[in-house]
A and B are shown apart, each in its own frame.
Chain A
Amino acid sequence: MERAFSPPPLAISGTIRWPRAGRFPSFGLTFALACALGVAIVAGVGWGTVPISPSLVARVIASHLGLGAITVDWTAAQDAIIWQVRLPRVIGAVLAGAALATSGALFQGLFRNPMADPFVLGISSGAAFGATLALLVGPAASLAALGIRTPTAAGLQAMVVPVTGAIGAVTTAFGVFRIARRGSGFLLTDLLLAGFAVGSMLTAATTAVLVLNDQMAVRLRLVFSWLAGGIAVNGWGHLAVAAPVVLVGLVVAYGLAHWLDPLVLGEAGAASVGVPVAMTIRVTLATGAILAASAVTLGGLIGFVGLLVPHMLRRLTGLSHRRLLPACAFGGGAFLVVADLLARIVLAPVELPVGILTAMIGGPSFLAILRRARRAS
């Protein structure tokens, strides 16, 4: 018995109404979002207990990047605050936001469903569980990898967390895909319930690991605030693993764009126009999961960014992933930097984990998108 494509069951998902396709020029949109990202970075670095003017922020960054001859008229302390402390955190938010938004767009294209998102599908929870398991192996170094300072930080062991996080995410992604799949399609309810069930189990397992391990229990508050979605980057070293992984992930995602568009026809339809469907599914699941896992190691469980950002941008880009994915990379980065800034401002001087803020914006939006999706199907 060999059958590449089983016939899809009747009434599989109906037509899910995406926002109507726009005709915004692709380059113009990407450029506008890149500018927005630049502004967000400057604002994110400038705001803090010691406010720094945008022009100073821009000049310090430019001088470190070697852009033009800039006379140094700032103090070493200002330099350290901008370049050593604040910028790595903001860049961490950029990478996490870009990774989450791109991951969401990939899963939405693959599952043909606007509700798909690494957080909703439980894939972020899989990454968190994998990362947490690494804490058991080598707690001190692993905590350092999450940006939680301990005296015995760094070393090769800091690599363990991103790797186990990625393994957890990829395993979860393939698992949820298998569970939710019916024939060669996905019902909206199957997808959401599979993600919910798997995510709940993994979150419970993560909590169990944290509570039952003595060494973890001591640092529970720190680990919890990471899990709740706090950008925990406190130096360039922390980005050494995540940054290349995210950048490679974004490039691979862009390479998949060409094969993701025809999936709108279903798997058999996509294959008939030339898409290597099995390979596309595997690479998309793995790339989306690894991007989500990178975001988790940078900032814990930040929900709904992968849902909100592609949803907003699709109004401007239409269905084309070639337009959508670069827009998500820049737009997602800018979105999370602004959200992180807001999370620092709203209850200042107390910092709210940004995941709590995105959940408060994202939850209601999720329900609104769900209502649209249900009405259409």
Chain B
Amino acid sequence: MTASTGASLPGGFRLEGLHSTYDASGAEALRGISLAIEPGEYVAVVGPNGAGKSTLLQVLAGLVHPSQGTVSLDGIALRAHRRRDLARRIAWLPQRLDPAFDITVEGLVALGRTAHRSPWGGDAPADRRAIDGALAATDTTAFRDRLVQELSGGERQRVALAMALAQAPQVLLLDEPTTHLDPAHAQGLLDVVARKHRDEGLTVVAVFHDLNLAALAARRVVVINGGEVVADGPPTVALAPTVLARTFGPVMHAVMHPVVGVAQVLPARAPLAL
């Protein structure tokens, strides 16, 4: 789809002893995370609320600088990259995209080309191709002239993904991409991501609220709790009953998916059934 990505497939991260503090309180969101993410890998990050998942993703995006430790992208410290170069390699999708002003779908997707364009020039053919390709890949071409503000939650999230894809990144960082979506829309969105990952070797790091979707989407699941990695491996390992009990409390029941055959979890009991 895109003209500007190189032939090689970099996009691997090394995190070492990462600490990150919140703004004023000084409380730590991340407390010593070390992790290696290989180029072309699809990693799901899960954990309880406030575990530091979003912060980890923002650190990977270079939007938050760690207070301690190092992050490097393909062997070069993230901080050493210029903002513009980083944006050509990493696309970050926040939980919900809320443009401050009315903007058309095409206008929004075109913002993904910011780092590829010259500040003084106009649209190059490569930009047009990337925008059209991103709209097509996310099946949003039909409403390119509509306002983003008029779209449903599911459509809006697909458009946000289109903007990220228009960046022609090597790494896609998704922060709870399906939280506001119904099951069908969630599946549709993750299909688009999975296709990009499979066909173009895109590195994907996605934070999931839904453990089951995480287990279905990625072969590697990283569980974070209290700013630390508590489990890391294939879904069966990362979502083992002992890990779940330690991380979420005795509220989960692990099962196998009857069709797909990956680890899944169910609530352990009905409400008030003590």
Q: Are B23 and A273 in contact (CB under 8 A)?
A: no
With a cutoff of 8 Å between Cβ atoms, the chain A residues found around residue B87 in the complex are 271-274
Chain B residue nearest to A114 in the complex (CB): B101
Known: A18-B102, A319-B101. A271 touches B63 (CB 8 A): yes
- Chain B residues 39 to 70 lying within 8 A of chain A, measured CB to CB, are 58, 61-67
Picked from B58, B99, B114, B120, the residue with its CB within 8 Å of the CB of A268 is B58
With a cutoff of 8 Å between Cβ atoms, the chain B residues found around residue A3 in the complex are 20-23, 64-65
CA of A112 to CA of B99, assembled, Å? 9
Is A38 close to B, CB under 8 A? no
- Chain A residues 1 to 45 lying within 8 A of chain B, measured CB to CB, are 1-7, 13, 15-21
- Chain B residues 107 to 127 lying within 8 A of chain A, measured CB to CB, are 107, 111-112, 114-115, 117-120, 122
> A137-145, A156-164, A258-266, A360-368: which lies at the B interface?
A258-266
Q: Are A1 and B67 in contact (CB under 8 A)?
A: yes
CA of A319 to CA of B103, assembled, Å? 7
With a cutoff of 8 Å between Cβ atoms, the chain B residues found around residue A20 in the complex are 102, 147
Picked from A1, A19, A264, A271, the residue with its CB within 8 Å of the CB of B103 is A264
Q: Are B117 and A258 in contact (CB under 8 A)?
A: yes
Q: Are B94 and A269 in contact (CB under 8 A)?
A: yes
Known: A6-B23, A274-B83, A274-B87. A268 touches B111 (CB 8 A): no
- A1, A268, A277 interface centre (most CB from chain B within 10 Å): A1
With a cutoff of 8 Å between Cβ atoms, the chain B residues found around residue A4 in the complex are 63-65
Known: A1-B23, A274-B84, A318-B107. A261 touches B100 (CB 8 A): no
Distance (Å) between the CB of B258 and the closest chain A CB?
A: 39
- Chain B residues 85 to 112 lying within 8 A of chain A, measured CB to CB, are 86-88, 90-92, 94, 97-104, 107, 111-112
Q: Are A15 and B115 in contact (CB under 8 A)?
A: no
With a cutoff of 8 Å between Cβ atoms, the chain A residues found around residue B97 in the complex are 265, 269
Mostly helix, strand, loop or mixed at chain B's interface? loop
Is A275 close to B, CB under 8 A? yes
With a cutoff of 8 Å between Cβ atoms, the chain B residues found around residue A16 in the complex are 100-101
Is A276 close to B, CB under 8 A? yes
Distance (Å) between the CB of A12 and the closest chain B CB?
A: 9
Is B138 close to A, CB under 8 A? no
Known: A1-B67, A255-B119. A15 touches B91 (CB 8 A): no
Picked from A19, A259, A272, A320, the residue with its CB within 8 Å of the CB of B91 is A272
CA of A255 to CA of B118, assembled, Å? 10
Picked from A255, A266, A276, A322, the residue with its CB within 8 Å of the CB of B100 is A266
Q: Are A275 and B114 in contact (CB under 8 A)?
A: yes
Interface size on A, residues (CB 8 A): 41
CA of A264 to CA of B120, assembled, Å? 19
With a cutoff of 8 Å between Cβ atoms, the chain B residues found around residue A2 in the complex are 64-67
Q: Are B119 and A272 in contact (CB under 8 A)?
A: no
With a cutoff of 8 Å between Cβ atoms, the chain B residues found around residue A271 in the complex are 62-63, 83, 87
Known: A2-B66, A261-B114, A276-B84. A21 touches B103 (CB 8 A): yes
Distance (Å) between the CB of A250 and the closest chain B CB?
A: 14
Give the top 6 A-B pairs by smallest Cβ distance, nearest first: A274-B115, A274-B87, A112-B100, A258-B119, A272-B92, A2-B65
- Please, could you name 24 A-B residue pairs with CB atoms under 8 Å apart, sorted by A? A1-B23, A2-B64, A2-B66, A3-B64, A4-B65, A15-B100, A21-B107, A255-B120, A257-B119, A259-B119, A261-B114, A264-B103, A265-B99, A266-B98, A269-B97, A272-B90, A272-B91, A273-B163, A273-B167, A274-B83, A274-B86, A275-B114, A276-B82, A276-B83
B contacts, CB < 8 Å to A: 20-23, 26, 58, 61-67, 82-84, 86-88, 90-92, 94, 97-104, 107, 111-112, 114-115, 117-120, 122, 147, 149, 163, 167
